[in-house]
Amino acid sequence: MTATTTESDLLGLANAVVAQARPGEGMEVYVTRGTDTEVRAYEGEVESLTSADSSGVGIRVLTADPGGSGSQVGFAWAGSLDPAVVEATLADARDNARFATPDPDVVLAEPDGVAAVELDLWDDGVASTPMEKKVALALELERATRAADPRVRQVSSADYADSRGEVALVTTTGITSYRRRTNAFLSVDAIAGEGTDTQTGTGFSVGRGPGELVPDEAMDDAVLRATRMLGSQKTRSTHCTVVFDPRVASTLLGIVASALSGEALVKGRSFFAGRVGEIVAAPAVTLVDDPTDPRAYGAATHDGEGLACRRNVLIADGVLRMFVFDTVSARRAGAVSTGSAVRGGFAGTPSAGCRALVLAPGTKSQEEILASVGEGLYVQSVTGVHSGVNPVSGDFSVGAEGLLIEGGTLGQPVREVTVASTLQRMLQSVVEIGGDLRWLPGVAAGQTLAIADMTLSGD
C-alpha cells in the first residue's frame, strides 16, 4: 500500500507520542480519524442530516519492570488530536499506571513475523459521492418502501449512512500499523397494518461505498418481514426444531464467539474451558474466524494491537480447536496471540474477540431445509439477546417472532413467544446449515440454520 498524506500524517502523530517514552517504559499509541454522514428521510423530506469529522487518541503506558514482578499498565483517551490534549492524555495514562497491579503477563504485542494480507477496504465513492446523491438514496428508499405494498402504513425511518475511518497504531515494541476503511449503509423500518394489527420489519443493505448498496434489497426485506407477520398469534408451548433466519444465525454465532474468547477462558468465564480437542458441536459445524476474507464486513488487515489478522479455525467438524487470543490473554493461557485483539475505538483497550466468523456453509437452500424439517418454527428475528442469553452459563432464552413450519413450508405467523435451550446443547443439536451464506454487518456472516429440540414457550 502506498503511503497517503493522511497515512504519514496519522502515523507521524502516533510516532511523535511514542518517541516520548522514557527508558524502560512501554507505550502504545492508537490514533483515529474519521468522517461520518447520516441522512434520515421521513415523509418525503430530509428529517435530519448529520455530517461530522471526529478523531481521538488512546494511550497505554506500561511502567518499567526492573524487578521482574511485571509491568503496571495505565490507559487514557481523548476525543481530540489537539497537541495539548494528547500531551495531557499521555500524562493521565502515566499516572493511571502507577496504581495498577504489577503483572508479568502485561506486555505489549511484538512483531511476530506474520505478514498482513493486502485488503482494499476503502471506497473513494464515500468521499466523492455528492451529498445530494446520498440524500436522494434515503428519500428514494423511503418512497419506494411506502409504495411497495398497500399494507405498509408507515415508514418510521429510512436512513443512508456512511463512514470513513483511519487508524494508526505505534508501539515502543516495534509495531507500526495503519489501516483505513469505508462503509456505507442503507436501512429502512417498515410498519405494516391491517385492521388493528400492526407489524414491523427492518431491511438493510451494506457495502464499502454507496455504489455497492442495493436499495431494493433493503426495501424488499423490510416489507416482507413486516407483511408476512400480519395476523400473527401466540402459539402453544412445545419442543420443536427451530430454523433461524441468516440474520439471527449471525447473532447466535456472535454469542458463541464470546465464549471462544481467550479472555473469557483465562478469567474462568467460558463454558468451553478445558474442552479443546473435544466434540462440542454437531459434526457439520466448522466455525472459522477469518478477517482476511475481503467479503466479510469485519475484514481487517491488522488487529487492535497492530498484529496481522489471520484465519483461525475455532471448531472443525464439531471438535473445538482453539480460542482466539490477544497478547495478554495468550500469555496468561500459555499461548500466542492469534491476531485477534479487538477494541472499541480509541476509548477502549484491546481484548480478545472475533471479527469475521463464518460457519462452513452446507448445500441446501432455505426451502430445502424447511422441507426437510417438516414441522417446527421459523424465526425471523429475536429480542432480548442481552437480557436472556448468558454466555458464561450457556443459558439461552430469547423472544422470537416468525412463522410456523407446517408440512415443510412456512405457515401461520407467530409472535410473543420465546425459544430456549442452552448454547452447549444448541451447538450439539445443529441439524442443518444452509448454503445461503450472507455477508452481514457485525462479527459474523449468517445462513439458514436449523437447531433441533428447542423449547418454544407461548400459551
Minimum CB distance to other proteins, residue 265 (Å): 12
Q: Which of 45, 87, 194, 278 binds other proteins (CB under 8 A)?
A: 45
CB 60 within 8 A of CB 89: no
Which parts of 236-295 interact with other proteins (CB under 8 A)? Answer: 237, 266-269, 271
Instruction: Pick out residues in 152-181 that bind other proteins (CB under 8 A).
Output: 153-154, 156
Using CB under 8 A, which of 198, 217, 319, 431 touches other proteins?
198
Rg (CA), the chain: 24
Strands 430-433 and 449-457: antiparallel
Q: In angstroms, rounded to a whole number, what is the distance separating the alpha carbons of residues 219 and 189?
A: 9
In the list 2, 5, 23, 53, the residue contacting other proteins (rule: CB under 8 A) is: 53
Rounded Cα distance, 138 and 382, in Å = 26
Alpha carbon separation from 336 to 139, 171, 332, 348 (Å, rounded): 50, 18, 10, 22
Position 345 contacts other proteins (CB under 8 A): no
Size of the site for other proteins (CB under 8 A): 78
Which residue stretch of 88-96, 175-183, 294-302, 371-379 sits at the interface with other proteins (rule: CB under 8 A)?
88-96
What residues between 290 and 319 interact with other proteins by CB under 8 A? none
8 Å CB contact between 361 and 438: no
Among 349, 366, 380, 429, binds other proteins (CB under 8 A): 349
Cα distance between residue 307 and residue 299, in whole Å: 14
For the bound state, the minimum distance from the C-beta of residue 364 to other proteins, rounded and expressed in Å, comes to 28
Q: Per CB under 8 A, which region of 90-98, 281-289, 366-374, 439-447 contacts other proteins?
A: 90-98
Instruction: Please select the residue that binds other proteins; options are 6, 15, 35, 54, rule is CB under 8 A.
Output: 54
- Within 374-403, which residues bind other proteins (CB under 8 A)? 383-384, 386-388, 390, 392-395, 397-399, 401
∠ Cα 288 294 295 (to 5°): 75
SS3 of residue 331 by DSSP = helix
We find the least distance from the C-beta atom of residue 456 to other proteins, in angstroms, to be 8
Instruction: Kindly identify the residues of this chain, within the stretch 25-44, that bind other proteins according to CB under 8 A.
Output: 42-43
Distance of CA 161 to the CA centre of its chain: 17
Query: Does residue 417 bind other proteins (CB under 8 A)?
Result: yes
Q: Which is nearer to other proteins, 115 or 386 (CB)?
A: 386
Residue numbers 118-137 binding other proteins by CB under 8 A: none
For residue 172, give the C-alpha cell: 515502543
Q: Are 332 and 269 in contact (CB under 8 A)?
A: no
- Only one residue has cell 455477508, namely 439
Q: Where are the alpha helices (DSSP H) in 109-171?
A: 125-128, 131-148
Interacting residue with other proteins among 6, 80, 163, 372 (CB under 8 A): 80
